[in-house]
Chains A and B, each alone.
Chain A
Amino acid sequence: ILNVEQSPQSLHVQEGDSTNFTCSFPSSNFYALHWYRWETAKSPEALFVMTLNGDEKKKGRISATLNTKEGYSYLYIKGSQPEDSATYLCAFNDDNQGGKLIFGQGTELSVKP
């Protein structure tokens, strides 16, 4: 059974704080690692899709890194804002599973003004 773990499960920060979360995944048969942002009462939306070891992606104040050899990815948010409050999901896509993604349980971020 493929397992994707995210930590922490939840995080409460003040506006302006920088924060980061971890996603760990199996290091064999790697194809891609996805990060999704999921706001309350909405549907998940893709933030990043990462495929190469050492990959770094950035979108505004949010960035992500990938280490496929050791099986982890970090998501960073610089200068958190209340609108960053959401659940951040990572999902692992392995070579043998076709298009199926294995999702972690998510990190719920709450940013207080």
Chain B
Amino acid sequence: NAGVTQTPKFQVLKTGQSMTLQCAQDMNHNSMYWYRQDPGMGLRLIYYSASEGTTDKGEVPNGYNVSRLNKREFSLRLESAAPSQTSVYFCASSGRGAPYNEQFFGPGTRLTVL
């Protein structure tokens, strides 16, 4: 089992460019999450998907969109990147077999917006 995978690992964008961060899990989990991590801020939830076909905003959704393509995949899109979106992005999943909503994290995507 690969667990949670994310692509790309690193990305540099110019202000105004768009990109999609991909996430996939092979644990048959229902729920998937996108977080951003900034120094001194811990992990902040951007969007989550409680099950296939549903998505909801988290704490910091502005400037992002998501798609839950199927049970395995949950993508995060930046339509017009801004320097404030420079961050490390983590995808996570949780669900059946993971007690009390324990989350499993991907390796992260380090994004720099110039």
Q: Complex: how many Å from CA A6 to CA B107?
A: 24
B102 touches A34 (CB 8 A): yes
> Is B99 a contact of A98 with CB atoms below 8 Å?
no
When chains A and B are docked, how far (Å) is the Cα of A44 from the Cα of B37?
11
Give the docked Cα–Cα distance between A31 and B35 (Å): 21
Give chain B residues whose Cβ lies under 8 Å from the Cβ of A101.
Answer: 45, 101, 103
Complex: chain B residue closest to A106, CB-CB:
B42
Bound CA span A98–B102, Å:
12
Chain A: CB-nearest residue to B30? A99
Interface of A toward B, CB cutoff 8 Å: 6, 9, 31-32, 34, 42-46, 49, 51, 89, 91, 93, 98-101, 103-106
The answer to whether A99 and B31 touch across the interface, beta carbons within 8 angstroms, is yes
Contact of B107 among A42, A51, A104, A105 (CB under 8 A): A42
Contacting A32 at CB < 8 Å: which of B101, B105, B108? B101
Interface residue ranges, B against A (CB under 8 Å): 4, 31, 33, 35, 40-45, 48, 50, 58, 90, 94-95, 99-108
30 contacts between A and B (CB under 8 A): A9-B40, A31-B101, A34-B100, A34-B101, A34-B102, A34-B103, A43-B4, A43-B90, A43-B105, A43-B107, A44-B105, A46-B104, A91-B43, A91-B103, A93-B100, A98-B101, A99-B31, A99-B33, A99-B48, A99-B95, A99-B101, A99-B103, A100-B33, A100-B101, A101-B45, A101-B101, A101-B103, A104-B42, A105-B41, A105-B42
